[in-house]
Chains A and B, each alone.
Chain A
Protein backbone atom coordinates (compact mmCIF):
# COMPACT_ATOMS: atom_id res chain seq x y z
CA UNK A 1 0.00 0.00 0.00
CA UNK A 2 1.34 3.36 -0.99
CA UNK A 3 1.77 5.70 1.98
CA UNK A 4 0.27 9.16 2.35
CA UNK A 5 3.81 10.51 2.64
CA UNK A 6 4.78 8.96 -0.72
CA UNK A 7 1.66 10.42 -2.34
CA UNK A 8 2.29 13.88 -0.91
CA UNK A 9 5.88 13.94 -2.17
CA UNK A 10 4.81 12.74 -5.61
CA UNK A 11 2.07 15.39 -5.77
CA UNK A 12 4.57 18.15 -4.94
CA UNK A 13 6.95 16.90 -7.63
CA UNK A 14 4.24 16.60 -10.25
CA UNK A 15 2.97 20.10 -9.60
CA UNK A 16 6.53 21.33 -10.11
CA UNK A 17 6.80 19.28 -13.32
CA UNK A 18 3.58 20.82 -14.64
CA UNK A 19 4.88 24.31 -13.91
CA UNK A 20 8.04 23.51 -15.88
CA UNK A 21 6.08 22.05 -18.78
CA UNK A 22 3.79 25.06 -18.99
CA UNK A 23 6.82 27.34 -19.40
CA UNK A 24 7.53 25.66 -22.75
CA UNK A 25 4.05 25.00 -24.10
CA UNK A 26 4.19 27.88 -26.59
CA UNK A 27 7.64 27.15 -27.96
CA UNK A 28 6.36 27.26 -31.55
CA UNK A 29 7.25 23.70 -32.57
CA UNK A 30 4.01 21.80 -33.18
CA UNK A 31 5.47 18.40 -32.36
CA UNK A 32 6.86 19.63 -29.06
CA UNK A 33 3.76 21.65 -28.16
CA UNK A 34 1.47 18.65 -28.72
CA UNK A 35 3.78 16.32 -26.82
CA UNK A 36 3.99 18.69 -23.87
CA UNK A 37 0.21 19.08 -23.89
CA UNK A 38 -0.21 15.31 -23.71
CA UNK A 39 2.44 15.09 -20.98
CA UNK A 40 0.59 17.74 -19.00
CA UNK A 41 -2.71 15.89 -19.38
CA UNK A 42 -1.10 12.76 -17.99
CA UNK A 43 0.28 14.66 -15.02
CA UNK A 44 -3.07 16.36 -14.46
CA UNK A 45 -4.67 12.92 -14.42
CA UNK A 46 -2.26 11.69 -11.75
CA UNK A 47 -3.18 14.67 -9.58
CA UNK A 48 -6.86 14.05 -10.29
CA UNK A 49 -6.83 10.41 -9.18
CA UNK A 50 -4.87 11.38 -6.08
CA UNK A 51 -7.72 13.70 -5.15
CA UNK A 52 -5.62 16.82 -5.68
CA UNK A 53 -6.94 18.34 -8.88
CA UNK A 54 -10.54 19.50 -8.76
CA UNK A 55 -10.57 21.59 -11.94
CA UNK A 56 -11.13 19.14 -14.76
CA UNK A 57 -9.72 21.30 -17.52
CA UNK A 58 -5.95 20.95 -17.58
CA UNK A 59 -5.70 24.25 -19.49
CA UNK A 60 -7.02 26.26 -16.57
CA UNK A 61 -4.56 27.83 -14.13
CA UNK A 62 -2.70 25.32 -11.97
CA UNK A 63 -4.27 24.54 -8.63
CA UNK A 64 -1.98 24.86 -5.65
Chain B
Protein backbone atom coordinates (compact mmCIF):
# COMPACT_ATOMS: atom_id res chain seq x y z
CA UNK B 1 0.00 0.00 0.00
CA UNK B 2 1.34 3.43 -0.95
CA UNK B 3 2.07 5.48 2.17
CA UNK B 4 2.18 8.98 0.67
CA UNK B 5 0.38 11.96 2.18
CA UNK B 6 -1.66 14.68 0.50
CA UNK B 7 -0.02 17.41 2.62
CA UNK B 8 3.11 17.71 4.72
CA UNK B 9 2.89 17.32 8.50
CA UNK B 10 3.33 21.10 8.77
CA UNK B 11 0.53 21.60 6.24
CA UNK B 12 -1.90 19.46 8.25
CA UNK B 13 -1.21 21.56 11.33
CA UNK B 14 -2.04 24.84 9.56
CA UNK B 15 -4.93 26.79 11.04
CA UNK B 16 -5.88 28.37 7.72
CA UNK B 17 -6.05 27.12 4.15
CA UNK B 18 -3.60 29.96 3.43
CA UNK B 19 -2.45 31.79 6.52
CA UNK B 20 -0.28 34.14 4.49
CA UNK B 21 -3.15 35.54 2.41
CA UNK B 22 -5.95 35.15 4.98
CA UNK B 23 -4.07 37.20 7.59
CA UNK B 24 -2.52 39.71 5.20
CA UNK B 25 -2.54 43.22 6.74
CA UNK B 26 -5.32 45.49 5.46
CA UNK B 27 -2.85 48.04 4.06
CA UNK B 28 -1.18 45.34 1.96
CA UNK B 29 -4.57 44.00 0.81
CA UNK B 30 -5.73 47.45 -0.26
CA UNK B 31 -2.46 48.14 -2.06
CA UNK B 32 -2.88 44.88 -3.97
CA UNK B 33 -6.53 45.55 -4.74
CA UNK B 34 -5.72 48.91 -6.28
CA UNK B 35 -3.04 47.44 -8.56
CA UNK B 36 -5.24 44.52 -9.55
CA UNK B 37 -8.27 46.74 -10.14
CA UNK B 38 -6.29 49.01 -12.47
CA UNK B 39 -5.17 45.98 -14.47
CA UNK B 40 -8.70 44.61 -14.65
CA UNK B 41 -10.00 48.00 -15.79
CA UNK B 42 -7.38 48.24 -18.56
CA UNK B 43 -7.98 44.65 -19.63
CA UNK B 44 -11.75 45.15 -19.69
CA UNK B 45 -11.47 48.38 -21.67
CA UNK B 46 -9.20 46.77 -24.25
CA UNK B 47 -11.06 43.45 -24.66
CA UNK B 48 -14.67 43.88 -23.65
CA UNK B 49 -17.32 45.75 -25.65
CA UNK B 50 -19.67 46.17 -22.70
CA UNK B 51 -17.08 47.87 -20.49
CA UNK B 52 -15.49 49.90 -23.28
CA UNK B 53 -18.85 51.42 -24.25
CA UNK B 54 -19.83 51.92 -20.61
CA UNK B 55 -16.62 53.70 -19.73
CA UNK B 56 -16.71 55.81 -22.88
CA UNK B 57 -20.26 56.87 -22.07
CA UNK B 58 -19.26 57.81 -18.54
CA UNK B 59 -15.94 59.34 -19.65
CA UNK B 60 -13.95 57.08 -17.34
CA UNK B 61 -10.22 57.66 -17.69
CA UNK B 62 -8.44 54.71 -16.09
CA UNK B 63 -5.35 56.84 -15.46
CA UNK B 64 -7.50 58.96 -13.14
CA UNK B 65 -8.08 56.00 -10.83
CA UNK B 66 -5.39 56.58 -8.23
CA UNK B 67 -7.15 55.39 -5.05
CA UNK B 68 -9.76 52.83 -4.10
CA UNK B 69 -12.18 55.71 -3.47
CA UNK B 70 -11.58 56.91 -7.03
CA UNK B 71 -12.54 53.45 -8.19
CA UNK B 72 -15.65 53.22 -6.01
CA UNK B 73 -17.07 56.57 -7.09
CA UNK B 74 -15.66 57.30 -10.56
CA UNK B 75 -16.20 53.89 -12.15
CA UNK B 76 -19.89 53.20 -12.79
CA UNK B 77 -21.68 50.37 -11.05
CA UNK B 78 -22.84 47.46 -13.17
CA UNK B 79 -25.91 45.29 -12.76
CA UNK B 80 -27.46 42.24 -14.36
CA UNK B 81 -30.11 44.14 -16.36
CA UNK B 82 -27.31 46.19 -17.99
CA UNK B 83 -25.55 43.07 -19.26
CA UNK B 84 -28.39 40.72 -20.11
CA UNK B 85 -29.99 42.52 -23.09
CA UNK B 86 -26.96 41.90 -25.32
CA UNK B 87 -27.24 38.14 -24.84
CA UNK B 88 -29.09 36.71 -27.83
CA UNK B 89 -29.26 33.27 -29.50
CA UNK B 90 -26.60 34.44 -31.96
CA UNK B 91 -24.46 36.09 -29.29
CA UNK B 92 -24.80 33.82 -26.27
CA UNK B 93 -22.56 35.73 -23.87
CA UNK B 94 -23.46 39.15 -25.19
CA UNK B 95 -21.09 42.07 -24.98
CA UNK B 96 -19.53 41.05 -21.66
CA UNK B 97 -17.07 38.62 -23.20
CA UNK B 98 -13.35 39.29 -23.34
CA UNK B 99 -12.02 36.20 -25.08
CA UNK B 100 -12.46 34.34 -28.31
CA UNK B 101 -15.02 31.54 -27.90
CA UNK B 102 -12.22 28.99 -28.28
CA UNK B 103 -10.97 29.99 -24.82
CA UNK B 104 -14.28 29.19 -23.17
CA UNK B 105 -14.02 26.03 -21.09
CA UNK B 106 -17.26 26.22 -19.16
CA UNK B 107 -20.77 27.47 -19.85
CA UNK B 108 -22.86 28.35 -16.82
CA UNK B 109 -25.97 30.34 -16.10
CA UNK B 110 -27.78 32.09 -13.32
CA UNK B 111 -31.02 30.49 -12.19
CA UNK B 112 -33.06 32.69 -14.54
CA UNK B 113 -35.05 34.44 -11.89
CA UNK B 114 -35.80 37.42 -14.11
CA UNK B 115 -37.36 35.09 -16.65
CA UNK B 116 -34.16 34.63 -18.64
CA UNK B 117 -30.91 33.21 -17.29
CA UNK B 118 -27.72 35.23 -17.57
CA UNK B 119 -25.06 33.18 -19.32
CA UNK B 120 -21.46 33.35 -18.25
CA UNK B 121 -18.31 31.95 -19.81
CA UNK B 122 -15.44 30.53 -17.77
CA UNK B 123 -11.97 29.98 -19.21
CA UNK B 124 -9.82 27.03 -18.13
CA UNK B 125 -7.96 28.90 -15.39
CA UNK B 126 -11.25 30.25 -14.01
CA UNK B 127 -12.66 26.76 -13.53
CA UNK B 128 -10.27 25.72 -10.80
CA UNK B 129 -9.58 29.27 -9.62
CA UNK B 130 -13.28 29.78 -8.89
CA UNK B 131 -13.51 26.28 -7.43
CA UNK B 132 -10.64 27.06 -5.12
CA UNK B 133 -12.61 29.89 -3.53
CA UNK B 134 -14.51 27.17 -1.63
CA UNK B 135 -11.35 25.75 -0.05
CA UNK B 136 -10.94 28.27 2.83
CA UNK B 137 -14.48 27.34 3.92
CA UNK B 138 -13.74 23.62 3.74
CA UNK B 139 -10.55 24.02 5.74
CA UNK B 140 -12.00 26.39 8.36
CA UNK B 141 -14.72 23.95 9.41
CA UNK B 142 -12.24 21.08 9.79
CA UNK B 143 -12.59 19.27 6.47
CA UNK B 144 -9.31 17.84 5.22
CA UNK B 145 -8.19 16.36 1.87
CA UNK B 146 -8.81 12.82 3.18
CA UNK B 147 -12.54 13.55 3.47
CA UNK B 148 -15.17 12.36 1.01
CA UNK B 149 -17.72 14.80 -0.39
CA UNK B 150 -21.25 13.85 -1.37
CA UNK B 151 -22.98 16.35 -3.67
CA UNK B 152 -26.75 15.99 -3.23
CA UNK B 153 -27.88 18.00 -6.22
CA UNK B 154 -28.53 17.61 -9.92
CA UNK B 155 -25.70 18.80 -12.09
CA UNK B 156 -27.43 21.40 -14.23
CA UNK B 157 -26.02 24.67 -15.47
CA UNK B 158 -26.14 26.34 -12.04
CA UNK B 159 -22.64 27.64 -11.44
CA UNK B 160 -22.64 27.46 -7.66
CA UNK B 161 -22.52 23.74 -7.03
CA UNK B 162 -20.20 23.12 -9.97
CA UNK B 163 -17.70 25.46 -8.38
CA UNK B 164 -18.08 23.57 -5.07
CA UNK B 165 -17.35 20.35 -6.95
CA UNK B 166 -14.27 21.80 -8.66
CA UNK B 167 -13.20 23.19 -5.30
CA UNK B 168 -13.43 19.78 -3.62
CA UNK B 169 -11.30 18.27 -6.39
CA UNK B 170 -8.79 21.07 -6.01
CA UNK B 171 -8.83 20.55 -2.24
CA UNK B 172 -7.65 16.99 -2.83
CA UNK B 173 -10.78 15.26 -1.56
CA UNK B 174 -12.72 12.32 -2.90
CA UNK B 175 -15.96 13.41 -4.56
CA UNK B 176 -19.18 11.52 -5.12
CA UNK B 177 -21.94 12.90 -7.30
CA UNK B 178 -25.47 12.37 -6.07
CA UNK B 179 -26.88 13.14 -9.52
CA UNK B 180 -28.17 10.76 -12.14
CA UNK B 181 -31.24 9.68 -14.04
CA UNK B 182 -33.99 8.62 -11.66
CA UNK B 183 -32.10 9.83 -8.59
CA UNK B 184 -34.36 10.27 -5.56
CA UNK B 185 -33.81 11.39 -2.00
CA UNK B 186 -34.17 7.78 -0.85
CA UNK B 187 -31.49 6.66 -3.30
CA UNK B 188 -29.19 9.38 -2.04
CA UNK B 189 -29.68 8.17 1.53
CA UNK B 190 -28.83 4.66 0.37
CA UNK B 191 -25.69 5.99 -1.32
CA UNK B 192 -24.63 7.77 1.87
CA UNK B 193 -25.06 4.52 3.81
CA UNK B 194 -23.14 2.54 1.22
CA UNK B 195 -20.34 4.96 0.22
CA UNK B 196 -19.89 6.60 3.63
CA UNK B 197 -19.08 10.19 2.63
CA UNK B 198 -18.04 12.54 5.43
CA UNK B 199 -19.11 15.85 3.84
CA UNK B 200 -22.60 16.62 2.59
CA UNK B 201 -23.08 19.51 0.13
CA UNK B 202 -26.66 20.61 -0.56
CA UNK B 203 -29.05 23.48 -0.01
CA UNK B 204 -30.10 23.86 3.65
CA UNK B 205 -33.75 23.02 3.02
CA UNK B 206 -32.90 19.93 1.02
CA UNK B 207 -30.51 18.82 3.74
CA UNK B 208 -33.33 18.95 6.28
CA UNK B 209 -35.65 17.21 3.83
CA UNK B 210 -33.04 14.44 3.44
CA UNK B 211 -32.91 14.05 7.22
CA UNK B 212 -36.69 13.60 7.36
CA UNK B 213 -36.59 11.12 4.47
CA UNK B 214 -33.84 9.16 6.23
CA UNK B 215 -35.91 8.88 9.40
CA UNK B 216 -38.89 7.65 7.38
CA UNK B 217 -36.57 4.93 6.04
CA UNK B 218 -35.64 3.98 9.60
CA UNK B 219 -32.21 5.62 9.31
CA UNK B 220 -30.95 8.05 11.94
CA UNK B 221 -29.06 10.68 9.90
CA UNK B 222 -27.00 11.62 12.98
CA UNK B 223 -25.56 8.11 12.95
CA UNK B 224 -24.45 8.14 9.32
CA UNK B 225 -20.89 8.88 8.18
CA UNK B 226 -21.62 12.60 7.60
CA UNK B 227 -19.41 14.77 9.83
CA UNK B 228 -19.59 18.09 7.98
CA UNK B 229 -22.23 19.97 6.06
CA UNK B 230 -21.46 22.68 3.51
CA UNK B 231 -24.46 24.70 2.39
CA UNK B 232 -25.09 27.06 -0.46
CA UNK B 233 -27.88 28.23 -2.71
CA UNK B 234 -30.04 29.92 -0.08
CA UNK B 235 -29.59 31.47 3.37
CA UNK B 236 -28.87 28.72 5.82
CA UNK B 237 -26.47 27.68 8.48
CA UNK B 238 -24.55 30.95 8.80
CA UNK B 239 -27.38 33.42 8.19
CA UNK B 240 -30.17 31.66 10.07
CA UNK B 241 -29.04 30.16 13.38
CA UNK B 242 -32.20 28.09 13.74
CA UNK B 243 -31.46 26.28 10.48
CA UNK B 244 -27.86 25.73 11.54
CA UNK B 245 -29.02 24.20 14.82
CA UNK B 246 -31.52 21.94 13.08
CA UNK B 247 -28.96 20.69 10.55
CA UNK B 248 -26.35 20.10 13.24
CA UNK B 249 -28.84 18.21 15.40
CA UNK B 250 -30.32 16.22 12.54
CA UNK B 251 -27.04 15.09 11.03
CA UNK B 252 -24.78 15.30 14.07
CA UNK B 253 -22.42 17.36 11.97
CA UNK B 254 -20.53 20.65 11.90
CA UNK B 255 -21.87 23.27 9.50
CA UNK B 256 -20.16 25.59 7.05
CA UNK B 257 -21.83 27.89 4.60
CA UNK B 258 -20.61 30.07 1.80
CA UNK B 259 -21.89 33.31 0.35
CA UNK B 260 -21.94 33.70 -3.38
CA UNK B 261 -23.88 34.89 -6.35
CA UNK B 262 -24.08 32.96 -9.59
CA UNK B 263 -22.49 35.75 -11.52
CA UNK B 264 -19.25 35.97 -10.45
CA UNK B 265 -19.51 32.61 -8.72
CA UNK B 266 -16.61 33.07 -6.34
CA UNK B 267 -17.79 32.37 -2.81
CA UNK B 268 -17.03 33.99 0.52
CA UNK B 269 -16.21 31.43 3.20
CA UNK B 270 -18.07 31.15 6.46
CA UNK B 271 -16.20 32.30 9.54
CA UNK B 272 -15.06 29.65 11.98
CA UNK B 273 -16.30 31.92 14.77
CA UNK B 274 -19.83 31.37 13.59
CA UNK B 275 -22.28 33.92 12.33
CA UNK B 276 -20.96 35.39 9.12
CA UNK B 277 -18.74 35.31 6.06
CA UNK B 278 -15.36 36.62 5.05
CA UNK B 279 -14.98 38.16 1.61
CA UNK B 280 -12.58 36.06 -0.47
CA UNK B 281 -10.10 38.88 -1.00
CA UNK B 282 -7.70 36.95 -3.20
CA UNK B 283 -10.53 36.56 -5.71
CA UNK B 284 -12.48 39.76 -5.25
CA UNK B 285 -12.43 43.31 -4.05
CA UNK B 286 -15.64 44.26 -2.26
CA UNK B 287 -17.05 47.36 -0.70
CA UNK B 288 -20.42 48.01 0.93
CA UNK B 289 -22.55 50.81 -0.44
CA UNK B 290 -25.46 52.66 1.09
CA UNK B 291 -28.24 52.14 -1.50
CA UNK B 292 -29.70 55.54 -0.64
CA UNK B 293 -26.64 57.78 -0.63
CA UNK B 294 -24.36 55.79 -2.94
CA UNK B 295 -21.50 56.22 -0.44
CA UNK B 296 -19.61 53.51 1.38
CA UNK B 297 -21.27 52.64 4.70
CA UNK B 298 -19.43 52.91 7.99
CA UNK B 299 -18.19 49.76 9.65
CA UNK B 300 -21.15 47.94 11.24
CA UNK B 301 -23.79 49.64 9.12
CA UNK B 302 -25.85 47.76 6.55
CA UNK B 303 -25.42 48.26 2.83
CA UNK B 304 -25.18 46.51 -0.50
CA UNK B 305 -22.17 44.33 -1.31
CA UNK B 306 -20.46 45.56 -4.50
CA UNK B 307 -17.81 43.28 -5.97
CA UNK B 308 -15.01 43.34 -8.51
CA UNK B 309 -13.85 39.90 -9.50
CA UNK B 310 -10.31 38.78 -10.33
CA UNK B 311 -10.96 35.14 -11.16
CA UNK B 312 -12.30 34.98 -14.68
CA UNK B 313 -10.83 36.75 -17.68
CA UNK B 314 -13.62 35.62 -20.03
CA UNK B 315 -16.64 37.27 -18.40
CA UNK B 316 -15.76 40.34 -16.37
CA UNK B 317 -17.44 41.76 -13.27
CA UNK B 318 -16.39 45.23 -12.18
CA UNK B 319 -18.16 47.23 -9.47
CA UNK B 320 -20.99 44.75 -9.79
CA UNK B 321 -24.13 45.05 -7.69
CA UNK B 322 -24.90 41.80 -5.87
CA UNK B 323 -28.05 43.25 -4.24
CA UNK B 324 -27.03 41.39 -1.07
CA UNK B 325 -27.35 43.49 2.08
CA UNK B 326 -24.48 42.93 4.48
CA UNK B 327 -22.90 44.46 7.58
CA UNK B 328 -19.13 44.97 7.08
CA UNK B 329 -16.68 44.49 9.93
CA UNK B 330 -12.96 45.05 9.41
CA UNK B 331 -11.65 42.92 12.23
CA UNK B 332 -12.71 39.46 13.29
CA UNK B 333 -11.79 37.43 16.38
CA UNK B 334 -10.86 34.49 14.15
CA UNK B 335 -7.77 36.38 13.00
CA UNK B 336 -8.63 36.47 9.30
CA UNK B 337 -8.17 39.99 7.95
CA UNK B 338 -10.53 39.57 5.03
CA UNK B 339 -13.62 41.80 5.20
CA UNK B 340 -16.20 40.18 7.46
CA UNK B 341 -19.97 40.25 6.96
CA UNK B 342 -21.47 39.83 10.38
CA UNK B 343 -24.72 37.86 10.34
CA UNK B 344 -24.26 36.77 6.74
CA UNK B 345 -26.65 38.10 4.11
CA UNK B 346 -29.20 40.23 5.89
CA UNK B 347 -31.59 40.69 3.01
CA UNK B 348 -31.91 41.86 -0.56
CA UNK B 349 -32.11 45.31 -2.03
CA UNK B 350 -34.83 44.11 -4.34
CA UNK B 351 -37.70 41.98 -3.22
CA UNK B 352 -36.91 38.32 -3.59
CA UNK B 353 -37.94 34.96 -2.27
CA UNK B 354 -35.79 31.84 -2.23
CA UNK B 355 -37.49 28.62 -3.16
CA UNK B 356 -35.57 25.33 -3.10
CA UNK B 357 -32.30 27.12 -3.68
CA UNK B 358 -33.55 29.24 -6.55
CA UNK B 359 -34.02 32.96 -6.09
CA UNK B 360 -37.46 34.08 -7.20
CA UNK B 361 -38.21 37.72 -7.71
CA UNK B 362 -41.76 38.90 -7.37
CA UNK B 363 -41.25 40.99 -10.50
CA UNK B 364 -40.20 37.91 -12.50
CA UNK B 365 -43.35 36.02 -11.52
CA UNK B 366 -45.41 39.12 -12.13
CA UNK B 367 -43.96 39.52 -15.61
CA UNK B 368 -44.89 35.97 -16.54
CA UNK B 369 -48.30 35.82 -14.90
CA UNK B 370 -49.52 39.21 -16.03
CA UNK B 371 -48.82 38.47 -19.67
CA UNK B 372 -50.17 34.93 -19.59
CA UNK B 373 -53.33 34.20 -21.65
CA UNK B 374 -56.31 33.62 -19.35
CA UNK B 375 -54.61 35.04 -16.24
CA UNK B 376 -55.35 38.47 -14.78
CA UNK B 377 -52.98 40.88 -13.03
CA UNK B 378 -54.28 39.81 -9.63
CA UNK B 379 -52.25 37.10 -8.04
CA UNK B 380 -50.71 36.07 -4.75
CA UNK B 381 -47.59 34.18 -3.80
CA UNK B 382 -48.58 32.10 -0.79
CA UNK B 383 -45.67 30.92 1.31
CA UNK B 384 -45.98 27.93 3.60
CA UNK B 385 -43.47 25.67 5.27
CA UNK B 386 -43.78 21.91 5.36
CA UNK B 387 -41.21 19.28 6.28
CA UNK B 388 -38.54 21.96 6.72
CA UNK B 389 -39.06 23.29 3.21
CA UNK B 390 -40.45 26.59 2.00
CA UNK B 391 -43.36 26.04 -0.34
CA UNK B 392 -44.85 28.62 -2.63
CA UNK B 393 -48.23 28.42 -4.30
CA UNK B 394 -49.35 30.92 -6.90
CA UNK B 395 -52.99 31.90 -6.77
CA UNK B 396 -54.05 33.88 -9.79
CA UNK B 397 -57.42 35.26 -10.69
CA UNK B 398 -58.84 34.23 -14.04
CA UNK B 399 -59.52 36.83 -16.67
CA UNK B 400 -63.15 37.79 -16.80
CA UNK B 401 -63.76 36.04 -20.11
CA UNK B 402 -62.20 32.73 -19.07
CA UNK B 403 -64.81 29.97 -18.61
CA UNK B 404 -64.42 28.15 -15.25
CA UNK B 405 -64.01 24.81 -17.00
CA UNK B 406 -60.72 26.11 -18.44
CA UNK B 407 -59.23 27.16 -15.08
CA UNK B 408 -57.34 23.89 -14.61
CA UNK B 409 -55.91 23.97 -18.13
CA UNK B 410 -54.66 27.53 -17.74
CA UNK B 411 -53.18 26.64 -14.35
CA UNK B 412 -51.26 23.73 -15.84
CA UNK B 413 -49.98 25.79 -18.78
CA UNK B 414 -48.89 28.58 -16.46
CA UNK B 415 -47.15 26.10 -14.19
CA UNK B 416 -45.18 24.83 -17.20
CA UNK B 417 -44.37 28.37 -18.32
CA UNK B 418 -43.03 29.26 -14.87
CA UNK B 419 -41.00 26.07 -14.81
CA UNK B 420 -39.51 26.91 -18.20
CA UNK B 421 -38.69 30.50 -17.36
CA UNK B 422 -37.87 30.46 -13.65
CA UNK B 423 -36.64 26.90 -13.33
CA UNK B 424 -38.79 25.68 -10.44
CA UNK B 425 -42.10 23.89 -10.29
CA UNK B 426 -44.62 26.01 -8.44
CA UNK B 427 -48.19 24.88 -7.78
CA UNK B 428 -50.61 27.19 -9.58
CA UNK B 429 -54.24 27.67 -8.76
CA UNK B 430 -56.54 29.72 -11.00
CA UNK B 431 -59.35 31.21 -8.94
CA UNK B 432 -62.53 33.12 -9.91
CA UNK B 433 -62.54 36.83 -10.64
CA UNK B 434 -62.66 39.08 -7.55
CA UNK B 435 -61.97 36.16 -5.21
CA UNK B 436 -58.61 37.49 -3.96
CA UNK B 437 -58.80 40.23 -1.33
CA UNK B 438 -57.97 43.77 -2.49
CA UNK B 439 -56.24 46.45 -0.49
CA UNK B 440 -57.48 50.04 -0.45
CA UNK B 441 -55.61 50.72 -3.65
CA UNK B 442 -57.35 47.84 -5.39
CA UNK B 443 -54.27 45.67 -5.63
CA UNK B 444 -53.97 42.22 -4.12
CA UNK B 445 -51.42 41.68 -1.41
CA UNK B 446 -48.76 39.95 -3.47
CA UNK B 447 -46.98 37.89 -0.84
CA UNK B 448 -48.91 35.99 1.82
CA UNK B 449 -46.49 34.45 4.28
CA UNK B 450 -48.10 31.63 6.23
CA UNK B 451 -44.84 30.13 7.46
CA UNK B 452 -44.54 29.52 11.24
CA UNK B 453 -44.07 32.66 13.28
CA UNK B 454 -40.79 31.54 14.89
CA UNK B 455 -39.29 30.86 11.47
CA UNK B 456 -40.46 34.23 10.13
CA UNK B 457 -39.11 35.93 13.25
CA UNK B 458 -35.70 34.47 12.49
CA UNK B 459 -35.90 35.89 8.99
CA UNK B 460 -37.30 39.22 10.18
CA UNK B 461 -34.36 39.75 12.52
CA UNK B 462 -32.18 39.84 9.45
CA UNK B 463 -34.15 42.72 7.99
CA UNK B 464 -34.76 44.74 11.12
CA UNK B 465 -31.66 46.91 10.93
CA UNK B 466 -32.52 48.53 7.64
CA UNK B 467 -36.26 48.87 7.81
Q: Bound pair: A and B?
A: yes
**Given A54-B32, A56-B39, A57-B43, A41–B20 Cβ distance below 8 Å?**
no
By beta carbon, the residue of chain B nearest A48 is: B282
CA distance A38 to B127 in the complex (A): 12
Specify which chain A residues have a CB less than 8 angstroms from the CB of B129 in the assembled complex: 45
Contact B21 A56 (CB under 8 A): no
**Given A2-B20, A51-B21, A57–B313 Cβ distance below 8 Å?**
yes
By beta carbon, the residue of chain B nearest A34 is: B124
Give the size range of A's interface with the partner.
Answer: 10 to 19
Contact B40 A56 (CB under 8 A): yes
Q: How far is the CB of A38 from chain B (nearest CB, A)?
A: 8
Q: How far is the CB of B219 from chain A (nearest CB, A)?
A: 41
Contact A51 B43 (CB under 8 A): no
Specify which chain A residues have a CB less than 8 angstroms from the CB of B125 in the assembled complex: 41, 44, 58
**Interface majority SS on B: helix, strand, loop or mixed?**
helix
Q: How far is the CB of B310 from chain A (nearest CB, A)?
A: 5
Contact B313 A49 (CB under 8 A): no
Contact B313 A56 (CB under 8 A): yes
**Given A41-B125, A49-B18, A49-B282, A56–B32 Cβ distance below 8 Å?**
no
Instruction: Among A37, A51, A54, point to the contact of B24 (Cβ < 8 A).
Output: A51
Contact residues of B between 123 and 173, Cβ < 8 Å to A = 124-125, 128-129, 132
Asked whether B28 is an interface residue with its Cβ less than 8 Å from the other chain, the reply is yes
Q: How far is the CB of A21 from chain B (nearest CB, A)?
A: 15
Q: How far is the CB of B267 from chain A (nearest CB, A)?
A: 16
CA distance A38 to B39 in the complex (A): 22
Contact B310 A56 (CB under 8 A): yes
Contact indicator per residue, chain B 296-320, by CB within 8 Å of chain A (1) or not (0): 0000000000000011010000000
CA distance A49 to B18 in the complex (A): 8
